[in-house]
Amino acid sequence: MTVVTKEIQVHTRGESDVVEFTEEVQRHVAETKLDSGVVTVFVAGSTAAVTTIEYEPGLAKDFPDALERAAPKSLAYEHEKAWHDGNGHSHVKAALVGPSLAVPFVKGRLALGTWQQVVLAEFDVRPRTRKIVLQIIGE
């Protein structure tokens, strides 16, 4: 078994931005020359999340809109009382979706469905440069 760790930088426009980066993950997996295994995709930060989605304009808007209904920006958050940074809702949304994703790969290719792409969902109130850590494990 081999373990390879890589990093990707993803730039966002801030709150509600959904950034697709499947091909970057695939490129790093292919570069390892591993045949089969799993890649863990992890965003370092508590106001962004990683998931899969059919990355098309409608869903890129629907996904953050749905999370806004689950954790509205307009609610009072205890985080705001402590830090006054305007992003309590951002932390809640990121926690609901989660910071990591495990994607199997077979014959060096990500085992994603036809309409499934890897995305970063930005929930913070300002543009960010996010560090994505890939941990590729396989043989």
pLDDT digits (tens, 9 = 90+) for 102-111: 999 999 999 9
**What average pLDDT does range 122-138 have in this prediction?**
97
Question: What is the model's pLDDT at position 80?
Answer: 86
Kindly tell me if the per-residue pLDDT of 22 is higher than 90.
yes
Q: What's the predicted TM-score (pTM) here?
A: 0.95
- What is the C-alpha separation between 14 and 23, in angstroms, rounded? 22
**What average pLDDT does range 59-71 have in this prediction?**
95
Burial of residue 89 (CB within 10 Å: 0-12, 13-18, 19+) is: buried
- What is the C-alpha separation between 44 and 60, in angstroms, rounded? 21
**What average pLDDT does range 56-64 have in this prediction?**
94
- Going by pLDDT thresholds of 50, 70 and 90, the confidence category of residue 50 is very high
- Going by pLDDT thresholds of 50, 70 and 90, the confidence category of residue 44 is very high
Contacts of 96 (CB under 8 A, 6+ apart): 49, 67, 70, 71
Question: How does the average pLDDT of the chain come out, rounded?
Answer: 97
**Which tokens belong to 20?**
């697709």
> Where do the domains of the chain lie, and which CATH numbers do they carry?
2-138 (2.60.120.460)
Question: What is the model's pLDDT at position 88?
Answer: 95
